[in-house]
Amino acid sequence: MRPHLILLITLGATLVACDTQVRKSDAELGLNPTQARGRHVYDQYCGMCHDAYSGKSLRGPSLQGVFKKQYLPSGAPANDDRVRDVIQLGRAKMPAFGPVLNQQQLDALLQYLHTL
């Protein structure tokens, strides 16, 4: 292989690695069993559109610190009742997950969101 090609491949791999964060385990995050189940629900249904551990938006707004703020990005109060409604009923471009999630999954998800 040519030296400049090796250098380009190495540089590209380094740049990609710099932007990638290692996913922390449930234990490293200090999650209890219910919060860990909520994280699994989040990974299945929410993570493709909402980033949990950075402020960047994906298809939807980041949920980092969602309960540490007074208001949700929509302007609604950041409380369990309102977040539960948004998850169950959907909002704007977000689909409703009420028909998909059972009560235990929803409760675990809310507990996990409080850890963000």
Confidence of residue 93 (pLDDT cuts 50, 70, 90): confident
Q: In the predicted model, is pLDDT for residue 69 greater than 50?
A: yes
Check residue 11 and give its pLDDT: 47
Q: Is residue 36 part of a domain?
A: yes
Identify the residue with better confidence: 110 or 2: 110
Share of the chain above pLDDT 70, in %: 80
**68: Cβ contacts below 8 Å, ≥ 6 apart:** 78
Q: Is residue 47 part of a domain?
A: yes
Please tell me the total count of domains within the chain.
1
| Range ranked top by mean pLDDT from 1-10, 16-25, 47-56 | 47-56
Q: Is residue 23 part of a domain?
A: no
Q: Is residue 11 part of a domain?
A: no
Q: What is the CATH number of the domain that holds 85?
A: 1.10.760.10
User: How many other CB atoms are found less than 10 A from the CB of residue 111?
Assistant: 18
Q: In the predicted model, is pLDDT for residue 79 greater than 60?
A: yes
DSSP letters spanning the chain:
--HHHHHHHHHHHHHHHHHPPPPPPHHHHT--HHHHHHHHHHHHHTTTT--SSSS--SSS---TTTTTSSB-TTSSB-SHHHHHHHHHH-BTTBPP-TTT--HHHHHHHHHHHTT-
Check residue 25 and give its pLDDT: 87
Name the residue range of residue 50's domain: 32-113
Confidence of residue 92 (pLDDT cuts 50, 70, 90): confident
Q: Is residue 79 part of a domain?
A: yes
Q: In the predicted model, is pLDDT for residue 76 greater than 60?
A: yes
